[in-house]
Structures are given as structure tokens and as C-alpha cells.
Amino acid sequence: MDRSNHYEAAFEAYLQWHRLCYVAVDETRRAQLGDIKVKNLDFIVYGSSGARLLVDVKGRRFPTGSPGRERRVWECWSTQDDVDGLERWTELFGPGYVALLVFTYELSPEERASAYEDLRRLARAFDLLPPKCREAVWMRRVDDLPQKEVAIRLGITQKTVEKHVMKGMKLLAAAMFHSGQAEAAQDEAGDADKSNKQETQRGKP
């Protein structure tokens, strides 16, 4: 890893934020495997679920191109040297290790401002979801919990969990891309919440 490279520094910050175990590799000098010099990787990452990753970080600005002639394309790129190096490191580390090219992007100030506004809009829309709907969406889409576990935690059926998630995602999409449809989606999400209350009441002894 080259800490003067802000793309690699950003990826390291990401690993630290998620409290993942990793080793940053000094890439200022090429390693030599036998008679062949091989491009160093950037990180060895150990995931919480047992994943073992050999990571090479690539960075680029978005959008690319000169002012007035920007290219708004999310490009993934690598050289044959990158691919060959990761392949050799994977062979050296052995079974269980997976090579991974991570493509990172530096947003222009304009794109960054637009992204922040999108996040604010999404947060506002999420806060407007009915309580049960909001909890179901968070547990399924953020915490990535199984539908059965979400149903147990919320005290509802799996079918109702599915309904909450579908309506919640529809509302969030409407708020982000079709503001005119947001109110209709909000009403549907509210109906799902009312249906859940009726279901809970019927289940009481």
C-alpha cells in the first residue's frame, strides 16, 4: 500500500470503519517469486465470515475527461500486469484466498454535492416510512437478516415482512426518482402498516 495514494488510503479507511482485519502491503518494492518479479498487491483482508481476500486497489476520477468534455462513464480497468500479479499471489497463498480488483472513484465537487443531496433525500424518505415498514426495510436491506428472523423480531408473518419491504422500497424509489409518485407509495406503505396492526390484533387471544 502507498499511503500517499488517496484511493488506497480511502479503502483502508473503509476497512477500519467496518473493523475488518487486514494487512497493508508495502508496494514500493516489487516482490520476486523465483526468477520473476511480480507486482505487489495492496491489502490482505480477512472478513468476519471467513473470507480471505487479496486486494489490488485501482483509482480514477469521475467524471473523466477535460472540462466541458467530461465522460460520465463508470469504467473498470486493469493491466495484464495487475491480473498476472494477483494470479501469482493467489497461487502462492493457496486455497481459500480470492483475488479482488477494487475500483474506487474520486467524485468531482459537483458530483459530490449531488451525491450528498441524494443521500439527504433518501434519509428523509426513509424517516417517512411507517415504523414497522421502516424496521423491516432496515433489517432486510441494511442488516441483511433472513426474512424469518425479521418476522420473529417484529412479531409478524413472513408474508407481511415481504409486503413491508416491497412497499418501503417502492416509496424510497419514488422519492428518489419519481417525486410525483411518492405520496401514492406512502399511502400504500401506510396501508401495509394498518394491515399488520389488524393481523396482530386477530392473533391476540
Number of compact structural domains in the chain = 2
Supply the range of the domain harboring residue 167: 111-203
Domain-embedded: residue 24 = yes
Domain-embedded: residue 84 = yes
Do 19 and 97 reside in the same domain of the chain?
yes
- DSSP string over 1-66: --TT-HHHHHHHHHHHHTT-EEEE---SS-EEETTEEE---SEEEE-TTS-EEEEEEEEEEESBSS
Do 188 and 117 reside in the same domain of the chain?
yes
pLDDT band at 190 (very low <50, low <70, confident <90, very high): low
Domain-embedded: residue 180 = yes
> Of 60, 79, 107, which marks where a domain is finished?
107
Do 115 and 196 reside in the same domain of the chain?
yes
Do 16 and 86 reside in the same domain of the chain?
yes
Q: pLDDT (tens digit, 9 = 90+) per residue, 141-182?
A: 888 899 999 999 999 999 999 999 999 999 888 887 765 444
pTM above 0.85, yes or no: no
- pLDDT of 188 reads 53
> Of 107, 127, 142, which marks where a domain is finished?
107
Q: Give me the mean pLDDT over the 99-127 stretch.
A: 82
Contacts (Cβ under 8 Å, ≥6 apart) of 136: 150, 154, 161, 164, 165, 168
> Of 55, 84, 107, which marks where a domain is finished?
107
Do 10 and 97 reside in the same domain of the chain?
yes
The Cα 89–Cα 38 span in angstroms is 9
Q: Give me the mean pLDDT over the 21-44 stretch.
A: 76
pLDDT band at 194 (very low <50, low <70, confident <90, very high): low
